[in-house]
Chain A
Amino acid sequence: MDNLGLLADGLGAALTPENLMYAAIGVLLGTFVGVLPGIGPAMAVALLLPVTFGLEPTQAFIMFAGIYYGGMYGGSTTSILLNTPGESSSVMTAIEGNKMAKKGRAAQALATAAIGSFIAGTIGTLLVVFFAPILADFAVTIGAPSFFAIIVLAMVLVTSLLGESKLRGWISLFLGLTFGLIGMDLNTGQPRLDFGRPELGGRLDIVIVAVGIFALGEALWVAAHLRRKPLEIIPVGQPWMGKDDWGRSWKPWLRGTAIGFPFGAVPAGGAETPTFLSYLLERKLAKKKDEFGNGAIEGVAGPEAANNASAAGTFVPLLAMGIPVTATSAVMLAALTSYGIQPGPQLMTDHSDLVWTLLASLLIGNALLLVLNLPLAPLWAKLLSIPRPQLYAGILFFASLGAYAASQRAFDILLLLVFGLVGFMMRRFAFPVLPLIIGVILGPLMETRFREALAISGGDLDALWSEKLGVGLYVIAALVIVVPLVLKARRPSNPSDPDGTDGSTGPSDSDGSDNEKELVH
C-alpha cells in the first residue's frame, strides 16, 4: 500500500536516538501536566507548545505527540485514583475506574486504561493513514460554498451536541467568533476590533488565546478555591493485569475503538458521545451485569479506548481539511501553523513529509507512553501532593513564557491576562470552553471561504447554496438544531436518560469536577 510506504518513511525519519529522547521528554512533560485535575490534553499541549519552539519540525512534532498522549494518559490516572475527571471525555472512565480502585483494583484499572488507550491510539492512527488521504483528495474538489457549509456544520455539531446548556454553548461560540474577527480585514485592509492598538492589527495568536483560557483561567479558578478538603486518593502500586482481566478487556478495547474513531473523524464534537455510548454498550453486553456500577473492568476499557480512538479520529478532518473539532486538535492546528504550514486540503500534498512524520510520531509517542509511563504510575500519583500554590506558580510561569516567546511583545502578556480573566469567568458561569476555541480558530477560516464564494459569484448570496453538498450539510445542521427542540417539546416532563448520567457533573471541559468538591473559604 502506498500510504503504508509513506508512513514507513515517516517512521524512518522519526526513529533516531535523539528523536526518541524528545519523545520521552514529551511523554513525561505531558503526563506531568495532564495528571493535574482540571488540566486535560488540550491545555497540556497549549502550555508546552513553547517548549517545542526552536526545534526542527520533525523533533517538535515528535515531542508534541508525546505531550499529547502523555496529557491524555495523565487524565485517566486522576479519574481512576481521585474520581475527578479532568474533562468530559474521561467522565465515563471515572465511574467504573474509581469504583475499581476503591475495591483495591486500581492497578488493573490503570493498566486496562493505558493498554486500551495504546491499542485504540495505534489502530486509530493507522485508520487515519488510510482515511485522511482519501478525504483530502475529495476535499480538494469541494468548492468554497460547500467548505463554508462544512465549517458551519462542524460549529453547529460542536456547540449543540456538547454540554447541558445549549445557550451557553452558543454564547461561547459567538464569543470565539468575535475574537476571531480581531485584526485586519484581509480583503480591504481595514482594522477590525483593534481598539486603536497597533498590536491588535494582526490576527490573535491562538496560542495566547488557548493558554489564557485554559491555563490562566484554570489557575485563577484554582486560586479562587485554594483551600478545599483534600481528596481521598487510592494508593496504587505497579499497574498490571491478570489473565482474567485481559480476557475481559480486549473486546471492549476493540469495540471502543470502533465506536470512537468515526465520532472523531466526523466532526461530531469530541469524545463525550462515543465514551458514553461505549459505556452503555459494555454495560449491555456485560456477562456480570450487577458488577457494573461497582467497578467493572469493561467499563474502563471500553470508554478509554473510545476516547483515544476518537482523539485519533479527529486527525482525519484536521489533516485532510484543516478543521479541528476538539480543543486539543485546535491547539495542534495552531502548532502546525506556527511552522508555516497552512491548514487545508492542500496540506497532505504540500507538506506530505511533515504529515507522515506527525502520524509516525503519534505511533511512537503512543508506544513510548506505555513503556515509560505505566511503571511510573505511583510516582505520578505523588504529584498530587504538591501544594497548589507551587504547582500553579510553575504553570503560570510556563504560560507567560509561552505567550511572550511567540513574538516577544509585552503586550501579549496583557492579552494573556485578559483571556485568563475570560477563562475564569467562563468557568465561574459554567460556559463550555470548546465552542470558543473552535470559534476563534474556525472563524477566520470560515470568513475566508465565505468571501471566496462571494467573490466568485460577484456578491450574490445565492452562491452559498449553489452546491448540492453544501445544501445537504445545511439540512443536517438544521436538523441537529431543530430535532432536539422538537423532541423536547413533545416530551416536556421526561428528563434525558436517567441511567448512566450520574457521573457527568459539569457542563464543560474542565470545570466538571469542581461542583462536587467541598469549598473551604
Chain B
Amino acid sequence: MKPTIVVGYSPDEFGAVGVERALEEARLRDARVLVVNASRGDAYVDEHFASTEQLRALEEQLSSSGVDCEVRQSFGHDVAEQVLGVIEETGAILVVLGIRRRSPVGKLLMGSVAQKVLLGAECAVLAVKPPR
C-alpha cells in the first residue's frame, strides 16, 4: 500500500495550489493523494464546499496527473477535525494546506482551519500559499 498524502481542499486558489503541490510531492514519494473537502454543513450555501461542477473539474485534473487519487467530501461540526480524522484514519505521511495571508489579529478574529490542523496533526504539515 502506498503512503497517503492528504490535502485540505476548498474550491479556490488556496485549494488549487494545495492540490498542485500535493501531486508534486506524491510523484516524488510515490504516494497516493487524498483530497478532503469538508464543510460544517450548517449554512444554506458554503462557498468552500465544491459544487458538482467544481468537483468534476478537480477530478479531471487529478486523473490526468497520473497519480493515484481520491476525493472525499464530508460534513461535521468542525472542518479541521474532519481533516485530522482523515489523517489519523489513513496514517497519512504528509498533509498539504493552502493557507491564507492574514495578520495575527485577523487570525484571532476569523479562526483558522489551518492553525488547528497544524497544531493537531501527527504527521508533517506542508503549508503553501498562492503566488502574490
Q: Which residues of A contact B (CB under 8 A)?
A: 36-37, 82, 84, 226-233, 381, 384-389, 520-521
Cβ contact within 8 Å between B43 and A232? no
| Inter-chain contact B42/A227, CB cutoff 8 Å | yes
By the criterion CB–CB under 8 Å, are B44 and A231 in contact?
yes
Residue from B42, B44, B52 with most neighbouring chain A CB atoms (10 Å) = B44
**Could you tell me the distance in whole angstroms from the C-beta of A515 to the nearest C-beta in chain B?**
16
Q: Is B9 an interface residue (CB 8 A)?
A: no
From B42, B44, B47, B51, give the contact of A389 (CB < 8 A): B42
A233 to B52, CA, bound (A): 11
Closest to A382 in B: B45
In the complex, A230 Cα to B38 Cα: how many Å? 11
Inter-subunit contact A385/B46 (CB<8 Å): yes
Q: Are A387 and B40 in contact (CB under 8 A)?
A: yes
**What is the bound-complex CA distance between A520 and B40, given in angstroms?**
11
CB <8 Å contact, A82 and B41: no
- B10: Cβ under 8 A from any A Cβ: no
**Given that A232-B51, A232-B52 are known contacts, is A520 also in contact with B43, CB under 8 Å in the complex?**
no
User: In the complex, which residues of chain A have a beta carbon less than 8 angstroms from the beta carbon of B39?
Assistant: 229-230
Q: Write the B46-59 contact mask toward A (1 if CB under 8 angstroms, else 0).
A: 11010110000000
16 chain-A/chain-B pairs, Cβ below 8 angstroms: A37-B44, A84-B44, A226-B42, A227-B42, A227-B76, A229-B39, A229-B75, A230-B45, A230-B46, A231-B44, A233-B44, A233-B45, A385-B43, A387-B42, A388-B42, A388-B43
| Distance, CA A82 to CA B44, complexed state (A) | 9
In the assembled complex, the Cα of A388 lies from the Cα of B43 at a distance in Å of 5
Chain A residue at minimal CB-CB distance from B73? A229
Q: What bracket does the count of chain B residues touching chain A fall in?
A: 10 to 19
Write out the residue numbers on chain A whose beta carbons fall within 8 Å of the beta carbon of B49: 229-230
Contacts of B51 in A (CB 8 A): 232
A262 to B75, CA, bound (A): 47
- Nearest CB to that of A389 among chain B residues? B42
Q: How far does the alpha carbon of A71 sit from the alpha carbon of B40 in the complex, in Å?
A: 28
Say what secondary structure dominates the interface of chain A: loop
Instruction: Give Cα A515 to B59, complex, Å.
Output: 29
Task: With A230-B49, A232-B51, A232-B52 as known contacts, state yes or no: A387 contacts B43, CB within 8 Å.
Answer: yes
The distance in angstroms between the C-alpha atoms of A389 and B44, with both chains bound, is 11
Minimum-distance CB pairs A-B, first 10 = A230-B46, A227-B41, A384-B45, A384-B44, A232-B51, A233-B45, A230-B49, A387-B42, A520-B75, A387-B43
Most chain A CB within 10 A, of B39, B41, B42, B76, is at: B42
Measured between alpha carbons, how far is A230 from B49 in the docked complex, in Å?
A: 7
Q: How far is the CB of A96 from chain B (nearest CB, A)?
A: 20
Shortest distance from the beta carbon of B127 to any chain A beta carbon, whole Å: 25
* Nearest residue, chain A, Cβ from B43: A387
Q: For residue A84, which residue of chain B has the nearest CB?
A: B44
Q: Are B75 and A388 in contact (CB under 8 A)?
A: no
B residues 25-49 in Cβ contact with A at 8 Å = 39-47, 49
Question: Using Cβ atoms and an 8 Å threshold, which residues of chain B touch A84?
Answer: 44
A227-B40, A230-B39, A232-B52 known; A385+B45 contact, CB < 8 A: yes
Are A36 and B41 touching (Cβ within 8 A)?
no
Q: Is the CB of A388 within 8 A of B44?
A: yes
* Interface contact B45-A231, CB-CB below 8 Å: yes
How far apart are the CA atoms of A142 and B8 in the complex, in Å? 71
A227–B76 Cα distance when bound, in Å, is 7
Tell me, in angstroms, the Cα distance from A74 to B39 when the chains sit together: 25
- In the bound complex, what is the Cα–Cα distance between A386 and B42 (angstroms)? 9
Docked complex Cα distance between A389 and B77 (Å): 12
Q: Name the residue of chain B whose CB is nearest to the CB of A82.
A: B44
CA distance A232 to B54 in the complex (A): 11
Chain A residues in 8 Å Cβ range of B45? 82, 230-231, 233, 381, 384-385
- For A520, what are the chain B residues with a Cβ–Cβ distance below 8 Å? 41, 75
Q: Tell me which of B43, B52, B76 contacts A386 (CB under 8 A).
A: B43
Residue of B41, B49, B51 contacting most chain A CB atoms (<10 Å): B41
Min CB distance B117 to A, Å, is 20
Contacts of A381 in B (CB 8 A): 45
CA distance A385 to B51 in the complex (A): 14
In the complex, what residue of chain B is closest to A38 when comparing beta carbons?
B44
- Taking A229-B49, A389-B42 as given, write out 10 further A-B residue pairs in contact, using a Cβ cutoff of 8 Å, ordered by the A residue number: A82-B45, A229-B39, A230-B41, A230-B44, A231-B44, A381-B45, A384-B44, A387-B40, A387-B42, A520-B41
Nearest CB on B from A427, distance (A): 17
CA distance A385 to B44 in the complex (A): 6
Chain A's nearest CB lies how many Å from the CB of B36? Answer: 15
Report the minimal beta-carbon distance from A389 to chain B, rounded to whole angstroms.
6
- CB neighbours (8 Å) of A227 from chain B are 40-42, 75-76
- Taking the nearest CB of chain B, how far is it from the CB of A224, in angstroms? 13
- CA of A228 to CA of B44, assembled, Å: 8
Q: Which residues of B contact A231 (CB under 8 A)?
A: 44-45
Give CA–CA (A227, B52) in the complex, Å: 19
- B43 proximity list for chain A (CB < 8 A): 230, 384-388
Within 8 Å CB of B40, what residues of A?
A: 227, 387
Contacts of B76 in A (CB 8 A): 227
Please measure, in the bound complex, the distance between the C-alpha atom of A385 and the C-alpha atom of B39, giving whole angstroms. 12
Task: State in angstroms the CA–CA spacing of A232 and B44 once bound together.
Answer: 9
Chain A residue at minimum C-beta to C-beta distance from B40: A387
